[in-house]
Amino acid sequence: MSTSCIQVTGTGRRNDPYELEPVISPDDCNALRCTPDGLLVPRTVPSGIDRGANIGAARSVDIDVTDTGGDNCPDTWAIGARLTPVYGQAAGQSRSLPINGEWTPTDCVATLPEPGVYQVTAMAVGQICATARFSTNVWMSFGLQRDNEAVLRGYGLVQHQYGFPAAGNGYQACHVGQGSLTVNVVVGDRATLRIVAAAEGRVAENSTVQRVEVRAPRITWHKISD
């Protein structure tokens, strides 16, 4: 005999005892249900995440779920995924530079948080102000330093150069330049990137440098590959 989802077999005799199939728990967390016609398995319709719905600085994956069509039973679905990579940016304050040709660190620091390949862009503005009463020739560069060690790449920002045939009347001027550089950085675990800058050159006697400064350093980065 049968009563909805419970099946009883056997005659109950010594050589043919009754046998009962497992009973379905009535717990509310159990999605299976007993009905007068038998066991009911609810139909599940999966859904994905629309393109662009997962937006943020953290790693995320957008899932596409598409019905393959037709009246097939059970249904079949196609499932795909789109990676939204980690990304970020950093900015720092202006920094005065000595004219000694050495790389000077700024406070613009970005941390690449996980293994992979990142596209990194560094940007900065340089300003040199000087009064030349004989001659000046000072130039500034900036670069991207990894883990306080190697400078990945340098880029010239601005040069201040004036000359007079003899000391006497002078000329005061400020030169401003800006630049950017882009590199692909391979990270095995994590990496710290910092903008550095350097100034070097010659300032003749009676000439004066008022300002050698790197300004508005900033870094943007995003992961492009595992």
DSSP letters, the chain, are: -EETTEEEES-SBTTB--EEPPPPP--TT---EEETTEEE----------TT---SSS-EEEEEEEE--SS-SS--EEEEEEEE--EEEEE---EE--BSS--EEEEEEEEE-SSEEEEEEEEEEEEEEEEESSEEEEEEEEEEEETTS-EEEEEEEEEEEEE-SSSSS-EEEEEEEEEEEEEEEEESS-EEEEEEEEEEEEE-TT-EEEEEEEEEEEEEEEEEE-
Q: What is the pTM of this model?
A: 0.68
CB atoms closer than 10 angstroms to residue 25: 9
**Same structural domain, 172 and 101:** yes
**Same structural domain, 11 and 99:** no
Q: Please give the tally of structural domains in the chain.
A: 3
**Same structural domain, 54 and 23:** no
The domain of 30 spans 1-42
**Same structural domain, 68 and 33:** no
**Same structural domain, 136 and 35:** no
**Same structural domain, 169 and 105:** yes
**What CATH number should be reported for the domain holding residue 189?**
2.60.120
**Same structural domain, 105 and 31:** no
CB atoms closer than 10 angstroms to residue 112: 23
**Same structural domain, 155 and 106:** yes
pLDDT per residue, tens digit, the chain (226 aa), is 444 566 666 666 767 666 666 677 777 787 787 777 777 877 777 777 766 666 666 666 777 788 887 777 777 888 887 777 789 999 999 999 999 999 999 999 999 998 889 999 999 999 999 988 888 899 999 999 999 888 887 888 899 888 876 656 778 889 999 999 999 999 988 899 999 999 999 998 888 899 999 999 999 999 888 7
**Same structural domain, 107 and 119:** yes
